[in-house]
Structure 1
Amino acid sequence: MNRLVNLLREDHDALWRLLDDVTDDTDTTDATGGPARDPVPRRPARRLVALLSAHELAEERVVWPAVRRLCEDGDALARTALSQEDEAKRALRALARLPSGGPGFTACLRTLAGLTRAHLTYEQEQVWPRLESRLTERDDATLARRWRAARRRAPTRPHPWLPARPAVLGTVGPAVAALDRARDALRARTAAGRT
Structure 2
Amino acid sequence: MSAAPLPPLPPVPGVPDDELEPAGPSMIELLEEEHRRLGRLCLRAATEPAASDVLVATLARHISTEEQYLYPTVASVLPEGPQLAERELAADTELLVALRRLHDATDEAALATVTEHVRAHARRTGTELFPALRERCTGPELVRLGNRVEIARSAAPTRPHPATPSTPPLNKVVDPALGVVDKVRDALSRRTTWEEDL
Which residue number in structure 1 is paired with residue 167 of structure 2? 165
TM-score with structure 2 setting the length: 0.80
Q: Flag as ranges the 4+ runs of structure 1 deviating above 6 A.
A: none
Q: Does 1:51 align with 2:53?
A: no
Q: Which runs of 5+ in 1 are unaligned?
A: 24-39, 190-195
Percent identity over paired residues: 34
TM-score with structure 1 setting the length: 0.81
Which residue number in structure 2 is paired with residue 90 of structure 1? 97
- What letter is aligned with 2:127? E
Q: Is the 8 A contact 2:158 2:182 kept in 1?
A: yes
Which residue number in structure 2 is paired with residue 11 of structure 1? 34
- What letter is aligned with 2:124? Y
Distance (whole Å) between structure 1 residues aligned to residue 182 and residue 58 of structure 2: 13
Q: Trace 1:93-104 onto structure 2 (pairs within 5 A).
A: 93-98=100-105, 100=106
- What letter is aligned with 2:103? A
- What letter is aligned with 2:34? D
Secondary structure in structure 2 of the residue aligned to 1:166: coil
**Larger RCO, structures 1/2 (Cα 8 Å, 6+ apart):** 2
Distance (whole Å) between structure 2 residues aligned to residue 178 and residue 74 of structure 1: 32
Which residue number in structure 2 is paired with residue 108 of structure 1? 110
Aligned mate of 1:183, from 164, 185, 195? 185
Q: Is the 8 A contact 1:154 1:174 kept in 2?
A: yes
Report which of the two structures shows the higher radius of gyration computed on alpha carbons: 1
Shift of 1:79: 1.2
Equivalenced residue count is 168
* Residue-by-residue CA offset, 1:61-84 (whole Å, 9 max, x unaligned): 011101111111111211111111
Q: Which runs of 5+ in 2 are unaligned?
A: 1-23, 192-198
Secondary structure in structure 2 of the residue aligned to 1:114: helix
Which residue number in structure 2 is paired with residue 22 of structure 1? 45
Aligned mate of 2:154, from 144, 152, 155? 152
